Structure 1
Amino acid sequence: MKFFIDNWILILAAFVSGGLLVWPMVARGGRGGSISVAQAVHLINREKGVVVDVSDPAEYAAGHVAGSRNVPFGSLENSKELPSNKSLPIVLVCPTGARASRAAATLRKLGYEKAVPLTGGVASWREANLPIEKSAA
Protein backbone atom coordinates (compact mmCIF):
# COMPACT_ATOMS: atom_id res chain seq x y z
CA MET A 1 0.00 0.00 0.00
CA LYS A 2 2.89 2.33 0.77
CA PHE A 3 4.09 1.90 -2.81
CA PHE A 4 0.77 3.24 -4.20
CA ILE A 5 0.79 6.20 -1.85
CA ASP A 6 4.41 7.08 -2.62
CA ASN A 7 4.00 6.67 -6.39
CA TRP A 8 0.47 7.91 -7.02
CA ILE A 9 1.66 10.36 -9.67
CA LEU A 10 3.32 7.59 -11.69
CA ILE A 11 0.23 5.40 -11.41
CA LEU A 12 -2.00 8.27 -12.49
CA ALA A 13 0.29 8.99 -15.46
CA ALA A 14 0.12 5.34 -16.52
CA PHE A 15 -3.70 5.34 -16.45
CA VAL A 16 -3.94 8.64 -18.33
CA SER A 17 -1.51 7.53 -21.05
CA GLY A 18 -3.37 4.23 -21.43
CA GLY A 19 -6.64 6.09 -21.75
CA LEU A 20 -5.20 8.37 -24.41
CA LEU A 21 -4.09 5.35 -26.41
CA VAL A 22 -7.53 3.72 -26.24
CA TRP A 23 -9.59 6.89 -26.78
CA PRO A 24 -9.33 7.13 -30.62
CA MET A 25 -10.80 3.65 -31.04
CA VAL A 26 -13.58 4.31 -28.53
CA ALA A 27 -14.43 7.67 -30.10
CA ARG A 28 -14.89 6.04 -33.53
CA GLY A 29 -17.12 3.33 -32.12
CA GLY A 30 -14.50 0.62 -32.67
CA ARG A 31 -14.46 1.16 -36.42
CA GLY A 32 -11.42 2.18 -38.33
CA GLY A 33 -11.17 5.81 -39.29
CA SER A 34 -9.51 7.04 -42.42
CA ILE A 35 -6.52 5.18 -43.77
CA SER A 36 -3.15 6.28 -45.10
CA VAL A 37 -2.00 5.87 -48.68
CA ALA A 38 0.20 2.92 -47.65
CA GLN A 39 -2.75 1.20 -45.96
CA ALA A 40 -4.89 1.82 -49.05
CA VAL A 41 -2.26 0.25 -51.32
CA HIS A 42 -2.16 -2.74 -48.97
CA LEU A 43 -5.95 -3.15 -49.14
CA ILE A 44 -5.94 -2.86 -52.92
CA ASN A 45 -3.05 -5.27 -53.52
CA ARG A 46 -3.51 -7.83 -50.75
CA GLU A 47 -7.23 -7.84 -50.00
CA LYS A 48 -8.68 -7.05 -53.44
CA GLY A 49 -9.90 -3.66 -52.25
CA VAL A 50 -11.94 -1.55 -54.65
CA VAL A 51 -11.26 2.18 -55.03
CA VAL A 52 -14.43 4.26 -55.36
CA ASP A 53 -14.09 7.97 -56.17
CA VAL A 54 -17.10 9.92 -54.87
CA SER A 55 -16.18 13.10 -56.76
CA ASP A 56 -18.41 14.80 -59.29
CA PRO A 57 -17.76 13.64 -62.89
CA ALA A 58 -15.83 16.83 -63.74
CA GLU A 59 -13.55 16.42 -60.71
CA TYR A 60 -13.07 12.75 -61.56
CA ALA A 61 -12.12 13.60 -65.15
CA ALA A 62 -9.55 16.16 -63.95
CA GLY A 63 -7.59 13.45 -62.13
CA HIS A 64 -8.39 10.29 -60.21
CA VAL A 65 -6.73 7.24 -58.68
CA ALA A 66 -5.79 4.85 -61.49
CA GLY A 67 -8.38 2.08 -61.77
CA SER A 68 -10.95 3.74 -59.52
CA ARG A 69 -14.69 3.72 -60.16
CA ASN A 70 -16.58 7.00 -60.21
CA VAL A 71 -19.72 6.96 -58.07
CA PRO A 72 -20.70 10.57 -57.27
CA PHE A 73 -21.60 11.07 -53.60
CA GLY A 74 -25.23 11.94 -54.42
CA SER A 75 -25.83 8.65 -56.22
CA LEU A 76 -24.13 6.26 -53.77
CA GLU A 77 -27.28 4.64 -52.44
CA ASN A 78 -28.62 3.68 -55.88
CA SER A 79 -25.37 2.88 -57.69
CA LYS A 80 -24.78 -0.29 -59.68
CA GLU A 81 -21.01 0.50 -59.73
CA LEU A 82 -20.51 -0.62 -56.13
CA PRO A 83 -19.28 -4.19 -55.63
CA SER A 84 -22.03 -6.71 -55.03
CA ASN A 85 -19.77 -8.46 -52.50
CA LYS A 86 -20.22 -6.31 -49.40
CA SER A 87 -17.32 -7.99 -47.59
CA LEU A 88 -14.71 -6.51 -49.97
CA PRO A 89 -12.75 -3.53 -48.66
CA ILE A 90 -13.78 -0.26 -50.31
CA VAL A 91 -11.33 2.64 -50.31
CA LEU A 92 -13.25 5.88 -50.79
CA VAL A 93 -11.55 8.91 -52.29
CA CYS A 94 -12.42 12.46 -53.31
CA PRO A 95 -10.17 15.48 -53.96
CA THR A 96 -9.55 16.24 -50.26
CA GLY A 97 -11.03 13.32 -48.28
CA ALA A 98 -13.96 15.20 -46.71
CA ARG A 99 -16.70 13.76 -48.94
CA ALA A 100 -15.09 10.33 -48.75
CA SER A 101 -15.54 10.29 -44.96
CA ARG A 102 -19.26 10.99 -45.32
CA ALA A 103 -19.49 8.39 -48.08
CA ALA A 104 -17.86 5.77 -45.84
CA ALA A 105 -20.51 6.36 -43.18
CA THR A 106 -23.25 6.04 -45.82
CA LEU A 107 -21.82 2.79 -47.20
CA ARG A 108 -21.45 1.30 -43.72
CA LYS A 109 -25.17 1.91 -43.21
CA LEU A 110 -25.77 0.05 -46.50
CA GLY A 111 -23.83 -2.97 -45.20
CA TYR A 112 -20.32 -2.30 -46.53
CA GLU A 113 -18.52 -2.71 -43.19
CA LYS A 114 -15.05 -2.38 -44.73
CA ALA A 115 -15.69 1.01 -46.37
CA VAL A 116 -12.88 3.41 -45.37
CA PRO A 117 -11.92 6.89 -46.58
CA LEU A 118 -8.41 7.76 -47.75
CA THR A 119 -6.81 10.45 -45.60
CA GLY A 120 -6.14 13.51 -47.76
CA GLY A 121 -7.97 12.09 -50.77
CA VAL A 122 -6.57 12.22 -54.29
CA ALA A 123 -4.17 14.97 -53.18
CA SER A 124 -2.37 12.58 -50.79
CA TRP A 125 -2.35 9.86 -53.47
CA ARG A 126 -0.71 12.33 -55.87
CA GLU A 127 1.82 13.44 -53.21
CA ALA A 128 2.86 9.79 -52.77
CA ASN A 129 3.66 9.70 -56.53
CA LEU A 130 1.12 6.96 -57.17
CA PRO A 131 -0.63 6.68 -60.56
CA ILE A 132 -3.24 9.29 -61.44
CA GLU A 133 -5.43 9.05 -64.55
CA LYS A 134 -7.31 11.74 -66.39
CA SER A 135 -10.33 11.12 -68.59
CA ALA A 136 -12.74 12.98 -70.81
CA ALA A 137 -15.59 14.61 -68.88
Structure 2
Amino acid sequence: MQFLLDNIFLVLAAVISGGMLIAPALARGGAVKSINTLAATQLLNGRHAILVDLRETNELAKGTVPQARHMPNSGFAAQADALAKEAMAGKEPKPVILMCAAGWRSLQSGKRLRKAGLQEVYSLDGGFDAWKQAGLPIKKA
Protein backbone atom coordinates (compact mmCIF):
# COMPACT_ATOMS: atom_id res chain seq x y z
CA MET A 1 0.00 0.00 0.00
CA GLN A 2 2.85 2.36 0.81
CA PHE A 3 4.29 1.76 -2.66
CA LEU A 4 1.02 2.91 -4.25
CA LEU A 5 0.95 6.05 -2.13
CA ASP A 6 4.60 6.84 -2.85
CA ASN A 7 4.13 6.33 -6.58
CA ILE A 8 0.58 7.58 -7.11
CA PHE A 9 1.46 9.49 -10.29
CA LEU A 10 3.12 6.46 -11.86
CA VAL A 11 0.16 4.28 -10.94
CA LEU A 12 -2.28 6.81 -12.40
CA ALA A 13 -0.21 7.08 -15.58
CA ALA A 14 -0.23 3.28 -15.95
CA VAL A 15 -4.00 3.05 -15.40
CA ILE A 16 -4.73 5.87 -17.85
CA SER A 17 -2.37 4.41 -20.48
CA GLY A 18 -4.00 1.01 -20.14
CA GLY A 19 -7.43 2.56 -20.50
CA MET A 20 -6.38 4.37 -23.64
CA LEU A 21 -5.13 1.11 -25.15
CA ILE A 22 -8.31 -0.77 -24.32
CA ALA A 23 -10.82 1.97 -25.23
CA PRO A 24 -10.70 1.52 -29.04
CA ALA A 25 -11.37 -2.21 -28.75
CA LEU A 26 -14.28 -1.59 -26.40
CA ALA A 27 -15.70 1.12 -28.65
CA ARG A 28 -15.68 -1.29 -31.59
CA GLY A 29 -17.12 -4.03 -29.47
CA GLY A 30 -14.64 -6.40 -31.09
CA ALA A 31 -17.40 -7.27 -33.55
CA VAL A 32 -16.31 -5.69 -36.81
CA LYS A 33 -12.88 -6.44 -38.23
CA SER A 34 -10.99 -3.84 -40.23
CA ILE A 35 -9.44 -5.09 -43.45
CA ASN A 36 -7.24 -3.44 -46.04
CA THR A 37 -8.00 -3.13 -49.75
CA LEU A 38 -6.00 -6.25 -50.66
CA ALA A 39 -7.94 -8.44 -48.24
CA ALA A 40 -11.19 -6.85 -49.42
CA THR A 41 -10.51 -7.67 -53.08
CA GLN A 42 -9.61 -11.23 -52.11
CA LEU A 43 -12.95 -11.62 -50.31
CA LEU A 44 -14.82 -10.04 -53.23
CA ASN A 45 -13.20 -12.28 -55.83
CA GLY A 46 -12.75 -15.49 -53.85
CA ARG A 47 -15.83 -15.62 -51.64
CA HIS A 48 -18.22 -13.31 -53.50
CA ALA A 49 -18.44 -10.92 -50.57
CA ILE A 50 -21.08 -8.20 -50.60
CA LEU A 51 -19.54 -4.71 -50.72
CA VAL A 52 -21.76 -1.97 -49.30
CA ASP A 53 -21.02 1.72 -49.84
CA LEU A 54 -22.39 3.61 -46.84
CA ARG A 55 -21.53 7.09 -48.09
CA GLU A 56 -24.37 9.54 -48.42
CA THR A 57 -25.57 10.42 -51.93
CA ASN A 58 -23.81 13.79 -51.89
CA GLU A 59 -20.48 12.01 -51.27
CA LEU A 60 -20.68 9.88 -54.43
CA ALA A 61 -19.32 12.65 -56.66
CA LYS A 62 -15.80 11.32 -55.93
CA GLY A 63 -16.80 8.12 -57.70
CA THR A 64 -18.14 4.70 -56.78
CA VAL A 65 -16.81 1.16 -56.67
CA PRO A 66 -18.42 -0.78 -59.57
CA GLN A 67 -19.56 -3.83 -57.57
CA ALA A 68 -20.61 -1.89 -54.45
CA ARG A 69 -24.23 -1.47 -53.39
CA HIS A 70 -25.14 2.00 -52.28
CA MET A 71 -26.94 1.97 -48.93
CA PRO A 72 -26.55 5.41 -47.33
CA ASN A 73 -25.59 5.24 -43.68
CA SER A 74 -28.51 7.49 -42.75
CA GLY A 75 -30.95 4.75 -43.81
CA PHE A 76 -28.81 1.70 -43.13
CA ALA A 77 -30.55 0.68 -39.91
CA ALA A 78 -33.77 0.01 -41.83
CA GLN A 79 -31.94 -2.25 -44.32
CA ALA A 80 -29.49 -4.04 -42.01
CA ASP A 81 -31.68 -7.05 -41.18
CA ALA A 82 -32.52 -7.70 -44.84
CA LEU A 83 -28.85 -7.46 -45.80
CA ALA A 84 -27.85 -9.87 -43.03
CA LYS A 85 -30.53 -12.37 -44.14
CA GLU A 86 -29.36 -12.13 -47.75
CA ALA A 87 -25.74 -12.70 -46.77
CA MET A 88 -26.70 -15.79 -44.73
CA ALA A 89 -29.12 -17.21 -47.32
CA GLY A 90 -26.84 -19.57 -49.23
CA LYS A 91 -25.05 -22.78 -48.25
CA GLU A 92 -22.11 -20.73 -47.09
CA PRO A 93 -22.73 -17.23 -45.71
CA LYS A 94 -21.19 -14.40 -47.71
CA PRO A 95 -18.94 -11.93 -45.96
CA VAL A 96 -20.11 -8.31 -45.95
CA ILE A 97 -17.62 -5.50 -46.40
CA LEU A 98 -18.78 -2.06 -45.36
CA MET A 99 -17.17 1.01 -46.85
CA CYS A 100 -17.65 4.69 -46.05
CA ALA A 101 -15.43 7.66 -46.85
CA ALA A 102 -12.68 6.93 -44.33
CA GLY A 103 -13.74 3.93 -42.21
CA TRP A 104 -15.50 5.23 -39.08
CA ARG A 105 -19.16 4.95 -40.11
CA SER A 106 -18.63 1.44 -41.43
CA LEU A 107 -17.44 0.27 -38.01
CA GLN A 108 -20.57 1.68 -36.41
CA SER A 109 -22.93 0.20 -39.01
CA GLY A 110 -21.19 -3.15 -38.83
CA LYS A 111 -22.37 -3.55 -35.25
CA ARG A 112 -25.96 -3.61 -36.53
CA LEU A 113 -25.17 -6.51 -38.87
CA ARG A 114 -23.49 -8.41 -36.06
CA LYS A 115 -26.59 -7.94 -33.89
CA ALA A 116 -28.66 -9.31 -36.79
CA GLY A 117 -26.61 -12.52 -36.60
CA LEU A 118 -24.06 -12.07 -39.38
CA GLN A 119 -20.65 -13.38 -38.34
CA GLU A 120 -18.36 -12.07 -41.08
CA VAL A 121 -18.64 -8.30 -41.12
CA TYR A 122 -15.68 -6.22 -42.22
CA SER A 123 -14.93 -2.52 -42.38
CA LEU A 124 -12.71 -1.33 -45.21
CA ASP A 125 -9.83 0.38 -43.44
CA GLY A 126 -9.53 3.88 -44.87
CA GLY A 127 -12.84 3.51 -46.73
CA PHE A 128 -13.36 4.77 -50.25
CA ASP A 129 -10.30 7.01 -49.97
CA ALA A 130 -8.07 3.95 -49.43
CA TRP A 131 -9.75 2.11 -52.32
CA LYS A 132 -9.05 5.05 -54.62
CA GLN A 133 -5.45 5.46 -53.42
CA ALA A 134 -4.83 1.76 -54.06
CA GLY A 135 -5.69 2.34 -57.73
CA LEU A 136 -8.62 -0.08 -57.68
CA PRO A 137 -11.53 0.29 -60.15
CA ILE A 138 -13.77 3.33 -59.72
CA LYS A 139 -16.77 4.51 -61.73
CA LYS A 140 -17.23 8.23 -62.12
CA ALA A 141 -20.55 9.37 -60.70
Q: Common fold, TM-score beyond 0.5? A: yes
Q: Which residue of 1 aligns with 2:54?
A: 54
2:80 counterpart of 1:74? no
Which of 125, 129, 132 in structure 2 is aligned with 1:123? 129
Query: How many angstroms does 1:61 deviate by?
Result: 4.2
Percent identity between matched residues is 32
Q: What CA distance in whole angstroms lies between the structure 2 residues aligned with 1:130 and 1:78?
A: 30
Matches within 5 A, 1:29-108: 33-79=33-79, 82=83, 84-86=86-88, 87-108=93-114
- Per residue, is there more helix in 1 or in 2? 2
Q: What CA distance in whole angstroms lies between the structure 2 residues aligned with 1:39 and 1:118?
A: 9
8 Å CA contact 2:101, 2:128 repeated in 1? yes
| Greater RCO structure (CA 8 Å; 6+ sep) | 2
Q: What CA distance in whole angstroms lies between the structure 1 residues aligned with 2:29 and 2:44?
A: 24
Deviations 1:46-74 (A, max 9, x none): 00101101110111343222210011112
In structure 2, stretches of 5+ residues that fail to align are 1-21
Q: What CA distance in whole angstroms lies between the structure 2 residues aligned with 1:75 and 1:38?
A: 28
Q: What CA distance in whole angstroms lies between the structure 2 residues aligned with 1:40 and 1:71?
A: 18
In structure 1, stretches of 5+ residues that fail to align are 1-22
Q: What CA distance in whole angstroms lies between the structure 2 residues aligned with 1:76 and 1:112?
A: 15
Query: What RMSD in Å do the two structures reach over aligned CA positions?
Result: 2.4
Deviations 1:63-86 (A, max 9, x none): 222210011112223228736132
Q: What CA distance in whole angstroms lies between the structure 2 residues aligned with 1:30 and 1:101?
A: 10
1:47–1:77 CA distance, 2 compared to 1 (3 A): same
1:104–1:129 CA distance, 2 compared to 1 (3 A): same
> TM-score w.r.t. structure 1 length?
0.70
